[in-house]
Every structure is written in structure tokens, then in C-alpha cells.
């Protein structure tokens, strides 16, 4: 197939989103199946792109309108993007299934539209090769995320959405300032070209621009203290949306941040920015874990935990050795799997038993054994027990950080992990060893399959991480090896 078909990854959700009003005429019941269908197709395309990239070993460069960059906007689906687009598609597909049960608030057609736009935005953020395009996709993601956060229309939802809007608005404004600075000094918006020209840039401007870009994206990527919107948004948004936030929306922001920062590898500003990311990441881990400690709302607890894990990934990127980036990307993948499972299961419990508060989880092992089992596996995995997937990435990450002598940071992170163990095991204890009077609930087959699938994935990666590890290494190289990135993009006027 022509690699240019990969543009369907962007096109399909976009058009499908605008088709929703038409579909609505066929009846409201059709909308969610339609959504499922679209995400399924998207998954197929993503899988195809994934296969294509990993078999040929070359990235797919999609040139919009056939213009060569930097004149035209290009999509760059490298190893990392291919992997992540697949994850986005798969998680979205699962979430459409989940939505059938989880979403009962009208208007369902708007939900479907926003859902698709969110998926589109995240895909775009990861796949694009142009910084302004990145901004646009980020805004698409953000606006659909704002809307989805407030989708439930309760006071809490509106409040969370409002917080998200205000903070996100400030962030994106400054991001745009950064873009303006970049454009002003380099005259280009293409990432590859920026990377090429970065070393010739005025260091002060580069530093300022980079700082502003990082600032803007850090709001999306939930780095402390720019993450204040996150727990509220996670808690208030519909359950499938929470899953998507945690699994890929945030990670897309982080990815964008890291991609941009790594473009400036050869500039003097680079080390400073890395230190900034390291500090922010560590703070995020520590504050996130500590905040989760005494939460009674499990969903909020998971939100904080998710924030902390993002901080960990950020630390990995901040260390910025090849090993650390490998580990960070691995952690991204693992975390996406585990948090998808956790939020899915917790959301399912919340739907079934009415609330995601800790009371619902008491005796869950008797009420909903499979769900409880899934949460348990997820929790154990997050805590970092060997034979579960997160252990490998965490272990690798910390070793990589120690390798460059960041002992203090590692000690802080490990201390925070202890805290993490406490609240997760309190949850596990509540689920399995505390009594409750409620009766056993029949568990939904589709969810059970999804959860078991994810559980199996967690354990398989945990026991035999080899295949995923190889994928992840390639993806990380794609992210880290900027020279290769420049080479792969067919820039106009630059002979390869």
C-alpha cells in the first residue's frame, strides 16, 4: 500500500466526527456502534502503519498536499509515533466499548464527536512534524478534552472543565508565544528544520522559546505545579474519558515536549531545560504520590498516581541518556496499559456500584471478582513488583538515572514509591479482605474480556518483556536520535 494512506489516521476520525450528525438521524442507538466501528477501522489503519514502519524500519512521511516540507506540512510516523498511534487506537476502541455502558448522559452524538476529536488530536500531536500543526492538534485535543470533562454537566464536571480551560488557556497562550519566538528567529515551523537550525540560533532566544514551549506543554503533560487541573478533570470526567486522558492524552503532551526539547540537543540551552524537566518530574512524582496517600475517592487516587507516573516518565526523559529514554518510553507503554486497565476497572465499579469511593471497593473480591482481580494486578504492577510489566521499566529507568549519578532524585522517587505501595495495598486489602454485605454482581462479558486481555498483556510483558522491549528500544531511538529524524524528513533544498 502507498504509505501516504497513513494520512487516513488523521482524516478518518476527522471526517467520521463530522459524519456523526448525519448518523444521528438513523437513531441514537447507532451512534455508539458507529463510534466502535470507526475506532476499529482506525485500529486497523494504525496496525497497518505499525507493521509498515517496523518491517521496513523506515518512518512513513506523509506530505500534505504533496508539498515537500518545510513548505508543506508533513506527518512523521516514525517508530515511536507508529507505536503510540496504535496504542491510542486500541485504547480508544476499548473505550468505545466501555462507553456503551458508561455513558448515559445526553447528547450522545456530541460525545461521539468529541471522542473522535480527542483521539484525532492526540494522534495528530504524536504524528505531526510541524510545530504550529502541533499547536493546532494540541488545541483540538484540549478543547475536546475541556468539553468532555464537563460532559456530565454536574457542578463538579463544570468546575473541573473550567479549571482545565483557564489553565490550559494560559498554557497554550504561552506555547504560542514560544512558537512565535521560534518562528521569529528561525523562520520555519518544521520540526526537522528547527532541529537543523537550532544550533545557529541565538542562545538566549532559544532558551526563552524552549522554556515557554516546555511551560505550555507541561500544563498538558501534568507536571507539577502545572497539573492542578488534572485530578479534578480525571475525577469529574466520564470514565472512558479518564482512561483516555491517562493513557494517551497526557502522554501526547509529554511526547511533544520531549520531541521539541530534544530538537535542541546541540544548543547550550539543552542541559538547563533537562534539569528543569528533571526537577519538575521529581516534584511531580513526590507530590503526586503524597497527595494520593489518603484519598478516599479511588478515581482521584488513581489520578494522582497517574500524575506521579507521568512525573517518572518525565524524569526518564530528563535524564536523557539513551538508556533512560528507552526506559521512559517503555514506561509510557506500560503505564498506558496499566492505567487503561485500572481506570476501566474502577470506572466499571463506579458505574455498577454507584460511586468510585473506597466504600464501594470493600469486599469487591466477593462482589466482582474479575474486576477486583484486574485492579489488583494493575496495582501490583504499578507498585513495581517483578513479573509484572511496570517493574521492568521502572527498574530500567532508575538504573539509568543512577548511572548518571542522580542518586538524590532516585532516592526521592523511591521514597514516593513507598507511599504508592501503601495506598495501593490499602486498596487491595479493602477489596479482598474486608467484608461487605452486598451480593455478587454479574460482570459484563465484554469488559471482562477487555480486562483479561489487558491483564494478560501486563503479565506477559512482565514475564517475557523481550518483544515489547525491542519495539520500545526502536521507538526510543526514534525519539532520541535527532540526526536521524532530520535525515528522514525530505526537506526541500536539503540534500539527504
Partner 1 sequence: MISAYYFGAISLILIGLYAILTKRNLLKILVGLSIMETGVNLLLISVGYVSGRTAPILTEGATPQTAVDPIPQALVLTAIVIGVATTALALTVAINLYEKYKTLDIEKIRGLRG
Partner 2 sequence: MINELMIIIFAPLLAGVLAWLLDIKGIREAIGVIGAAIPLAYLIQAYQTLSTQPSIQYSIALAGFKFEFLLYQINWIFAMIAGVVGFAAVLGMVSTAKDSYEWLFALISLTGVLGVFLADDLAGFFIFWEVMTFASFMMVLKYNRKASLKYFLLSVFGAYAMLIAIGIIYAKVGALDFATIQQVLYQDAMRGAFGTDTLFSRNEMILVFGLFLIAFGVKAGMFPLHVWAPDAYSETNQSYTAMFSGVLSKAGVYGMLVIYILLGTRLMYEFGKFGAAPKFGYIIALLGGLTIIVGGLLAALQEDIRKLFAYSSISQIGYILVGIGVGTALSIEAAIYHAVSHALFKGLFFLIVATIIYRTGKTEFKDMGGLAEKMPITFAMAFVAILSLAGIPPLVGFASKWLLFEAVIHENMPILGGMIFFGSAIGFVYLIRFTYAVWFGQRPTDLDDTKDAPLPLAIAMGILALLNVVFGIAPGLVAKELNKIFGKEVIGGTIYELNLGFGRYNGLLITIWLVVGLVIAAIIYFLGAKVRKVPVTDTYQAGNPVTMEYNLTIRRNFFLPLKETLAFWLRISFDRLYQDIGKWIEDLAETMRHYIYNGSVQAYAWYLAIVLLILALWGV
Distance CA 139, CA 153 (A): 21
Distances (CA, A) of 19 to 6, 14, 147: 20, 9, 19
Q: Contact 390/381 with Cβ under 8 angstroms?
A: yes
With residue 75 as reference, give the H or E element that holds it: strand 74-77
Asked if 26 touches partner 1 (CB under 8 A), the answer is no
Segment interacting with partner 1, rule: CB under 8 A, options 60-68, 103-111, 128-136, 455-463: 128-136
Task: Report the residue number, 29 or 429, with the smaller CB distance to partner 2.
Answer: 429
Residue 219, interface with partner 1 (CB under 8 A)? no
Q: Of the ranges 131-139, 219-227, 453-461, 466-474, which one interacts with partner 1 (CB under 8 A)? A: 131-139
Q: Is the dihedral of CA 146, 148, 153, 155 positive or negative?
A: negative
Q: If binding is defined by CB under 8 A, does position 111 make contact with partner 1?
A: no
Say how far apart CA 226 and CA 250 lie, in whole Å: 13
Of the pair 212, 280, the CB lying nearest partner 1 is at 212
Interface with partner 1: number of residues (CB under 8 A): 39
Length of the chain: 496
Contact range with partner 1 by CB under 8 A, out of 3-11, 38-46, 129-137, 259-267: 129-137
- Interface region with partner 1, contact rule CB under 8 A, candidates 32-40, 136-144, 309-317, 429-437: 136-144
Q: Where are the alpha helices (DSSP H) in 189-321?
A: 191-197, 203-220, 229-236, 239-244, 250-263, 269-292, 298-319
Q: Which of partner 1, partner 2, none interacts with 391 (beta carbon under 5 to 8 A by kind)?
A: partner 2
For partner 1, the binding residue among 54, 183, 432, 469 (CB under 8 A) is: 183
Which string of x and - marks every residue 275-314 that binds partner 1 (by CB under 8 A)?
----------------x-----------------------
Q: Are 101 and 447 spatial neighbours (Cβ–Cβ below 8 Å)? A: yes
What sign does the dihedral 347-352-353-359 (CA atoms) show? negative
User: How near is the Cβ of 74 to partner 1 at its closest, in Å?
Assistant: 16
Residue 386's contacts (CB-CB under 8 Å, 6 or more residues apart) are 462
C-alpha cell of residue 131: 510545530
118 CB neighbour count, 10 Å cutoff: 28
In DSSP terms, which residues pair with 62 in a beta bridge?
75
For 211, counting Cβ atoms within 10 Å of its Cβ (0-12 exposed, 13-18 middle, 19+ buried), the class is middle
For the record, the C-alpha cell of 208 comes out as 526563552
Binding of partner 1 at residue 203 (CB under 8 A)? no
Q: Which of 40, 136, 385, 422 binds partner 1 (CB under 8 A)?
A: 136
| Residues of the shown chain interacting with partner 2 in the complex, contacts defined by CB under 8 A | 162-163, 166-167, 170-171, 174, 204, 207-208, 211-212, 215, 219, 225-226, 228-229, 231-232, 272, 276, 287, 290-291, 293-294, 326, 380, 384-387, 391-392, 395-396, 398-399, 401-405, 407, 410-411, 414-415, 417-419, 421-422, 425-426, 428-429, 432-433, 464-466, 469, 473
Q: Which of 77/475 has CB closer to partner 2?
A: 475
Torsion sign over Cα 483, 487, 491, 494:
positive
Which residues contact partner 1 by CB under 8 A?
132, 135-136, 139, 142-143, 146-147, 150, 153-156, 158-163, 165-166, 169-170, 172-174, 176-177, 179-181, 183-184, 189, 231-232, 235-236, 291
Amino acid at each position: 500500500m502507498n504509505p501516504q494512506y497513513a494520512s487516513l489516521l488523521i482524516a478518518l476520525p476527522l471526517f467520521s466526527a463530522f459524519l456523526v450528525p448525519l448518523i444521528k438521524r438513523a437513531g441514537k442507538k447507532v451512534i455508539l456502534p458507529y463510534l466502535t466501528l470507526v475506532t476499529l477501522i482506525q485500529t486497523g489503519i494504525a496496525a497497518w502503519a505499525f507493521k509498515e514502519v517496523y518491517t521496513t524500519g523506515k518512518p512513513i512521511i506523509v506530505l500534505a498536499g504533496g508539498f515537500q516540507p518545510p513548505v508543506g506540512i508533513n506527518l512523521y510516523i516514525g517508530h515511536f509515533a507508529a507505536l503510540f498511534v496504535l496504542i491510542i487506537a486500541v485504547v480508544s476502541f476499548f473505550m468505545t466499548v466501555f462507553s456503551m455502558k458508561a455513558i448515559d448522559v445526553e447528547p450522545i452524538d456530541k460525545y461521539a464527536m468529541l471522542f473522535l476529536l480527542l483521539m484525532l488530536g492526540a494522534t495528530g500531536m504524536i504524528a505531526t512534524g510541524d510545530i504550529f500543526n502541533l499547536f493546532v492538534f494540541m488545541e483540538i485535543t484540549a478543547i475536546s478534552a475541556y468539553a468532555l470533562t464537563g460532559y456530565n454537566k454536574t457542578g463538579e464536571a463544570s468546575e473541573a472543565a473550567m479549571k482545565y480551560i483557564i489553565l490550559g488557556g494560559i498554557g497554550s497562550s504561552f506555547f504560542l508565544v514560544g512558537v512565535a519566538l521560534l518562528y521569529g528567529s528561525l523562520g520555519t515551523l518544521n520540526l526537522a528544520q528547527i532541529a537543523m537550525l537550532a544550533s545557529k540560533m541565538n542562545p538566549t532566544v532559544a532558551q526563552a522559546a524552549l522554556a515557554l514551549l516546555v511551560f505550555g506543554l507541561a500544563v498538558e503533560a501534568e507536571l507539577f505545579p502545572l497539573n492542578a487541573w488534572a485530578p479534578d478533570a480525571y475525577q469529574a470526567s466520564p470514565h472512558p474519558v479518564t482512561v483516555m486522558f491517562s493513557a494517551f492524552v497526557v502522554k501526547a503532551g509529554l511526547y511533544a515536549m520531549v520531541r521539541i526539547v530534544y530538537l535542541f540537543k546541540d544548543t547550550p540551552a539543552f542541559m538547563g531545560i533537562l534539569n528543569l524537566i528533571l526537577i519538575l518530574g521529581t516534584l511531580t512524582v513526590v507530590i503526586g504520590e503524597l497527595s494520593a496517600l489518603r484519598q478516599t475517592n479511588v478515581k482521584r487516587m488513581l489520578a494522582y498516581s497517574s500524575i506521579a507516573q507521568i512525573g517518572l516518565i518525565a524524569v526518564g526523559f530528563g535524564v536523557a541518556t539513551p538508556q533512560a529514554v528507552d526506559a521512559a518510553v517503555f514506561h509510557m507503554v506500560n503505564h498506558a496499559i496499566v492505567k487503561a486497565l485500572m481506570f476501566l476497572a474502577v470506572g466499571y465499579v463506579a458505574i455498577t456500584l454507584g460511586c468510585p469511593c473506597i466504600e464501594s471497593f470493600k469486599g469487591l473480591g466477593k462482589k466482582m471478582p474479575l474486576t477486583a482481580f484486574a485492579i489488583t494486578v494493575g496495582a501490583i504492577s504499578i507498585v513495581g513488583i517483578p513479573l509484572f510489566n511496570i517493574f521492568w521499566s521502572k527498574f530500567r529507568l532508575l538504573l539509568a538515572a543512577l548511572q548518571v549519578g542522580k542518586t538524590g532524585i532516585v532516592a526521592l522517587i523511591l521514597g514516593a514509591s513507598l507511599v504508592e505501595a501503601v495506598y495501593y495495598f490499602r486498596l487491595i486489602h479493602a477489596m479482598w479482605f474486608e467484608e461487605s454485605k452486598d451480593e455478587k454482581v454479574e460482570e459484563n462479558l465484554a469488559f471482562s474480556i477487555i480486562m483479561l486481555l489487558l491483564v494478560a498483556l501486563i503479565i506477559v510483558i512482565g514475564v517475557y518483556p523481550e518483544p515489547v522491549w525491542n519495539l520500545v528500544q526502536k521507538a526510543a531511538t526514534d525519539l532520541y536520535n535527532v540526526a536521524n529524524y532530520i535525515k528522514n524528513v525530505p526537506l526541500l533544498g536539503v540534500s539527504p
